[in-house]
Homo-oligomer: A and B are copies of this chain.
Amino acid sequence: MSSQPSETKAARVTSFDVAERAGVNQSTVSRALAGSPQVTPATRERVLAVARELGYTVDQRASGLRTGRTDTVAVVILQGPEDKAPSGNPFYFELLGSICEAASARGLETLVSLQSEEGRLSGDYVKRGQADGTIVIGSARHSSAWTYFQQLQRSTGNLAFWGSPFDDARWVRSDNHGGGRIATSHLLDRGYRKIAFVGPLGTGPGQFAERFSGYRDALAERGAQPIEASSYPDGDRKSQGYHAARDMIERDGSIDAFFAASDRLAFGVLDYLKEIGRDVPEDVGIVGFDGMSAGTISSPPLTTVAPDLAKAAEALLRMAIDGEASVTQRVKVRLIERASVRPT
């Protein structure tokens, strides 16, 4: 009953097993595997060989308990009710991808949590010993969630935000103002004259408002006036874009370009324009924002302003994990020219 070979559930192999088999003390095993310089090359070799043979790997729970670290970063992605779960906002997943890569490059694992405001919000991964820092991704829409996380940031530290609407907290953002300028100037340079802005500003400060101000400033320099939709329906971004475009075109048929504050809004604009038979980019030009790869699929492919996601991910990590001093950081944006703006 005790020596049946494969009946017994394979017991966890520990550093003690390795030690015994290698004829050294357990602490030496620990040092050897940690690559400590104070263990002789010969000893290290022997230990590593045995570890390999036994299939030993250090238990992160135990080592983390001892060191106080976890070597993982938690990423919470906020989902509004308007985002049909679970895919939510695809842009967030692109950012998530960049964070996973940047984390991995630093030797960190990534814990992902999708959270909605109606569900239970939770950001105390550090306190629970599950992460060394937490990144929260959302937009100004998730207002009640943000107040929770802002609160948490005050008491906790080790948080970094993307898309948070308030200024007195650690965040990384796109150069939204610059992006708004670039998009608008590009449209102006290509000969469009009446450029409308698409994006609800009602939620107050936030990325859209910053993009709007870049748009407005670029327009002002050339003596042009901003054009805004009178209102936005609830719902997903795409239908908001659709309705905003319709609202504005119906009031002023001479509008010949749109700067949409997000790619998903732009897809809605595209839909409306198709519906009324306006040719993009000949009759009407469009520039979106986010650099979403889905923009290559639309027809025409969407010209867009893309933030440097790799840089954003690194900055977020520095703030969340290293507790970097700088409280806020902007990442550069660049224009990705596809085909929703006519060539020169």
Contacts and interface: CB of A to CB of B under 8 A. Distances in A.
A94 interface: yes
- Which residue, A127, A270, A298, has most C-beta atoms of chain B within 10 A? A127
A101 B129 contact: no
B130 A62 contact: no
Contact of A297 (B96, B111, B129, B298): B298
Q: How many copies does the complex hold?
A: 2
B55 A61 contact: no
Nearest to A124: B57
B104 A113 contact: yes
A104 B114 contact: yes
A12 B124 CA distance: 13
B128 A60 contact: yes
A113 B109 contact: yes
Given A59-B65, A61-B61, A72 B111 contact: yes
A58 interface: yes
- Which residue, A12, A68, A297, has most C-beta atoms of chain B within 10 A? A297
Interface in A86-100: 86-88, 90, 93-94, 96-98, 100
B101 A97 contact: no
Contacts of A55: 127, 155
A171 interface: no
Contacts of A220: none
Interface in A138-183: 155
Contact of A86 (B72, B98, B127): B98
Contacts of A128: 57-60
Nearest to A97: B86
A304 interface: no
Nearest to A119: B104
Interface in A223-262: 238
A327 interface: no
Contact of A59 (B72, B129, B298, B299): B129
Contact of A101 (B86, B101, B309): B86
Contacts of A35: none
A205 to B, nearest CB: 28
A70 interface: yes
A64 B60 CA distance: 10
A97 B79 CA distance: 11
A61 B57 contact: no
Nearest to A71: B130
Nearest to A125: B109
A18 to B, nearest CB: 13
Given A87-B93, A267-B297, A294-B90, A100 B129 contact: no
Given A62-B129, A109-B130, 6 more contacts: A12-B68, A59-B65, A86-B98, A86-B100, A93-B96, A294-B297
21 contacts: A55-B127, A57-B128, A59-B65, A60-B129, A60-B130, A61-B61, A61-B65, A86-B97, A86-B101, A87-B93, A87-B94, A88-B97, A90-B294, A93-B93, A93-B96, A100-B112, A101-B114, A104-B113, A110-B113, A238-B296, A270-B299
